[in-house]
Structure 1
Amino acid sequence: MDCDKCDDEAVMHAAYSGLHMCADHFCRSVESRTRRRVREDNLLPDDASPDDPETWLIGLSGGKDSVVLTQILHDTFAEDPRVELVALTIHEGIEGYRDESLAACRDLTEDLDVRHELVTYEEEFDLRMDDVAVEDPMDMAPCAYCGVFRRDLLSKYAAEYDADKLLTGHNLDDEAQTALMNFFEGDVEQMAKHFDASLGAFPGAADGGGDRDGTPVRVSTDGPFVPRAKPLRDVPEKEIALYAQLQDLPAHITECPHASEAYRGEIQQLLFDMEENHPGVRHSIMAGYEDLAAMAARAYRDGGGPEYGECERCGATTTRAVCRKCSLVEAVHAAD
């Protein structure tokens, strides 16, 4: 089958659009959608300048999503003095897994000449995920511990590096799964938090705080945490994997040996089946979900946001006396 845009051989067929694309037009499509999301979400404000540039911290795991995100952002902004990229890799302490992906991170950032920082659970919390998975003092899946620890470190170092935004490689499948989980759980408050945390566009600087093109904006971006963004959230997971392969990027494409989110796995399979039978369903889910989540965000903000304070143990911003991360770290150490 030939590419619909030229006479070259097609390397992929996007069932949701009907397009057949060659390697060149496919890669351009992924890059175009990512850059469009950067524009539509107003990631780069009008008042950014070479004298006062934006610092974007990228959560770089070495997997396909974060590697593709880093590559495209570098290609887009390497010559733009208004943006500074910093890549942060978190080593959880998983034997035979994170070491290989760390090598991919180093290869990529050295090739792109992007500043690369590394932090580890062992240095930060005096624990390794391999041991946490065995001890499991709270009787939870390993992903539940790891998610809390990772979010804590991403937030901590985004603030430490004075980042303006924290960027992660979540793709269309990731976001559609989260949307369905929130729907099925009936968690409207979580929808509101999801929107304000990473889905809504940033207010445009041109008009003093409104949005530029009618896109729903975050109700507020002046909270205690560095705001997040997900520039790959319009691109399906398989297309990101194909892009990494075609561009010969040093991505480590292996599932974590402790991955065990059973509920998300069910949602993932449901979405896969739905997409097979009804191409485009992921895009439809997200289009409606973002509008509903925006309304929920406004409603919950009108009712007042949570009261934040400092964790008694580590000083992190939290709504508890002791933050969730410190509670889990203490439980793990108590089980030793």
Structure 2
Amino acid sequence: MDCDKCGADAVLHAAYSGLHLCEDHLCQSVEKRVRRRVREDNLLPDDATAGDPETWVVGLSGGKDSVVLTQILAETFGRDPRVELVALSVHEGIDGYRDESLAACRELTADLGVAHEVVSYDEEFDVRMDEVVEEDPHDMSACAYCGVFRRDVLSRYAADLGADKLLTGHNLDDEAETALMNFLEGDIRKLSQQFDASLGPFEGADAERTREGGEEFVPRAKPLRDVPEREVALYARVRDLPAHITECPHAEEAYRGEIQQLLYDLEERHPGTRHSIMAGYEELAALAAGEYDASDGDGDLGECAECGSPTAREVCRKCGLLDALT
């Protein structure tokens, strides 16, 4: 099949748009959508001056999504005086697996000239995920523990690094899966909390920062959220990027796996399903956010009694899990 743009050999048929794209036009398409998302979410500051740029911390795991995001941001904004990029990687303490992906992170950031910071669960919490999986005091999946610890580390270190924004590599499939899971679980408050830079313009980030409990909250954005996972993977392969593709040995998110398969099947039969889910979810999240913001203080967060992090509980989820592990 030929590329619809230039007639060269196509490497992708995007059923949702009907387009056949060659390697060059695939890459241009992915990069264009990332730039458009940055623009539509108003991520770039209007008034930053040379010598005083915004700091964007990018969560870099070494997987295809975060590697592609870092590559595109560095090539697009690496010389922009308004932005300074810093990559932040987390070592969870999974023997073999994370060491290999961190090697990919170091190779990428060295090639791009991007500052790179690494933090570990061992240093931060005195735990390693291999040990957490063995103990498992709450009888939960490894992903449930790891997600809580990772969010905490990314948020705190982004703040320590002086981040104005924290960018993560969630793609369209990731976001559509999360949207469908939140809706099926019927958690409207959780749905309302999704209306941030990842689902709407970046105006209101200051309000989000205050609502979440003070200066340590760094607003988040997901510039890859319009790009399907398959196209991210193809981009990484075509550009020969040092992405670590191997799945985590502790991954066992059974429910998300079911949702993922459901979306695959729906997208196969009805191309564009993921885009439609996100378009509707964005509107619902905005309505829910408005409802909870207008409530009588129900959504206000206090500080964790143990670590001071913003939380609706007396002790935050992270500290509760760590207490159970000690």
Counterparts of 2:196 and 2:206, CA distance in 1? 5
Partner of 1:275: 267
Q: Tell me by how many angstroms 1:51 deviates.
A: 3.6
Kindly indicate whether the alpha-carbon contact (under 8 Å) linking 2:293 and 2:299 is maintained by their aligned counterparts in 1: no
Aligned to 1:143: 143
For 2:278, the equivalent position in structure 1 comes to: 286
Q: 1:35 maps to what in 2?
A: 35
Summarize the Cα distance change of 1:146–1:52 in structure 2 as closer, same or farther, 3 Å threshold. same
Runs (5+) with no aligned partner, structure 1: 204-208, 210-216
Superposed, 1:226-265 pairs within 5 Å as: 226-265=218-257
Identify unmatched segments of 5+ residues in structure 2: none
Q: Report the Cα distance in structure 1 between the residues aligned to 2:209 and 2:5, rounded to whole angstroms.
A: 41
Would you say how many aligned residue pairs link Structure 1 and Structure 2?
321
From 297, 313, 320, the counterpart of 1:320: 313
Report which stretch shifted further, 146-155 or 39-48: 39-48
Question: Are the equivalent residues in 1 in contact too, given 2:208–2:219 (CA < 8 A)?
Answer: no
Q: Contact conserved, 2:45 with 2:82, CA < 8 A, in 1?
A: no
In structure 2, distance between residues paired with 1:218 and 1:198 = 15
- In the alignment, the residues of structure 1 paired with residue 37 and residue 305 of structure 2 have an alpha-carbon distance, to the nearest angstrom, of 39
* Alignment-mate amino acid for residue 146 of structure 1: C
CA 1:197–1:73 in structure 2 vs 1: closer, same or farther (change >3 Å)? closer
Give the fraction of aligned pairs with identical amino acids, expressed as a percent. 71
CA distance in 1, matches of 2:67, 2:56: 15
So what's the TM-score if we normalise by structure 1? 0.92
1:204-242 deviation line (CA, Å, top 9, x unaligned): xxxxx7xxxxxxx99745443111000000000011000
Instruction: After TM superposition, give the deviation of residue 183 of structure 1 in Å.
Output: 1.3
Looking at structure 2, the residues matched to 318 and 182 of structure 1 have their Cα atoms a distance apart, in angstroms, of 20
CA distance in 2, matches of 1:18, 1:254: 30
Matched residue of 1:198: which SS?
coil
Q: How does 1:1-336 map to 2 (within 5 A)?
A: 1-196=1-196, 198-203=198-203, 220-223=208-211, 224=214, 225-303=217-295, 304=297, 306-333=299-326
Note if contact 1:148-1:324 (Cα within 8 Å) is conserved in structure 2: yes
Q: CA deviation at 1:182?
A: 1.3
RMSD: 1.5
Q: Which amino acid counterpart does residue 323 of structure 2 have in structure 1?
A: E
TM-score normalised by length of structure 2: 0.95
Secondary structure, counterpart of 1:330 in structure 2: helix
